[in-house]
Amino acid sequence: MKDFLHSLLSEYKDKYSELISTVEHAHKTKQWGMGIMPSYNPAPYTCELQGCKPGRLLKKDCEPAKDRQCYFFDEHKKIIGEVQYVKHVKIKNQWIVYRRFFLNKPNSIITLTFGSDFEDGMEANLDSAAITMFELDRATAHFSLHNTGEFLETLYEYKDEKIASVIENIWRETLTVRVYEILHTITDLTILEVLTDNNKIVIYPEN
C-alpha cells in the first residue's frame, strides 16, 4: 500500500490546477462547513483521535470566513473537493486556503491533501496521499503517506455494527503503535487510548 500511495504522490504532485478545474466543472452542488477541524473525513474519527471535535456541515450558504470550509458534491452526491479558509490577506484581498480532493472509487476513497495557497492560486505542494478502504459501506482500513515519508496505517474493528476499537501503526524513524477503545452511548462518544501498561486515558472528548 505504501508503494501505491507513493505513486499517487508522484502522479498528482503537479496536477493541482488540473484538480481544481476538474472539481469546478464536475461539481453539481456546494455545502459549507464550520469548525477548526474539517467537517468531512472519509476515515472515521480522524478528528476525535486527535482529541478534537470535528466541524459540522451547515444548512445555509455562507461567505468565506476563518475556520469555514466549502465542499463540492458531484452528481452522485459524493464530496469531490474541499476548500478550507484559513486567513484573509487584506493587502491582496485574497484568502489563504488549503485544498483537499477526493477520488471516489467503488470500495475506496482517495484523499489528496495540498498545502496552503491563495484561493486564486494554481500552485501548491502535495502534502499527503491517503486511501480509505470500505467493505459493505463500512470503513475497514485507512492508509496515509506524507511527503516527508511518514506512513500511517489505521485499522478498524467492529462490534454490533459500530467501531469498537482502532489500531494505528505509525512509521517515522521507528514504528509507533497506538490502540484505542471506542465507547458508544445513545448521545455520546468516548475514545480511550490503551497504553502499553494497559492503563487507559481519555482522548476524546477533551476534559
pLDDT at 202: 95
Q: Cis link prior to 205 (omega < 30° from 0)? A: yes
Cell representation of residue 52: 478534537
Q: How far apart are CA 84 and CA 86, in angstroms?
A: 6
How many residues are present in the chain? 207
**Closest-CA residue to 141 (of 162, 117, 167, 102):** 167
Domain architecture of the chain: domains with CATH: 2-204 (2.40.160)
**Closest-CA residue to 100 (of 16, 35, 44, 34):** 16
Please give the model's pTM, rounded to 2 decimal places.
0.95
pLDDT by residue for the chain (207 residues), tens digit each?
Answer: 999 999 999 999 999 999 999 999 999 999 999 999 999 999 999 999 999 999 999 999 999 999 999 999 999 999 999 999 999 999 989 999 999 999 999 999 999 999 999 999 999 999 999 999 999 999 999 999 999 999 999 999 999 899 999 999 999 989 999 999 999 988 889 999 999 999 999 999 976
Q: How far apart are CA 79 and CA 82, in angstroms?
A: 8
| Cα–Cα distances in angstroms (integers) from residue 72 to residues 43, 63, 123, in the given order | 18, 15, 20
pLDDT at 207: 67
Using DSSP, state whether 204 is helix, strand or coil. Answer: strand
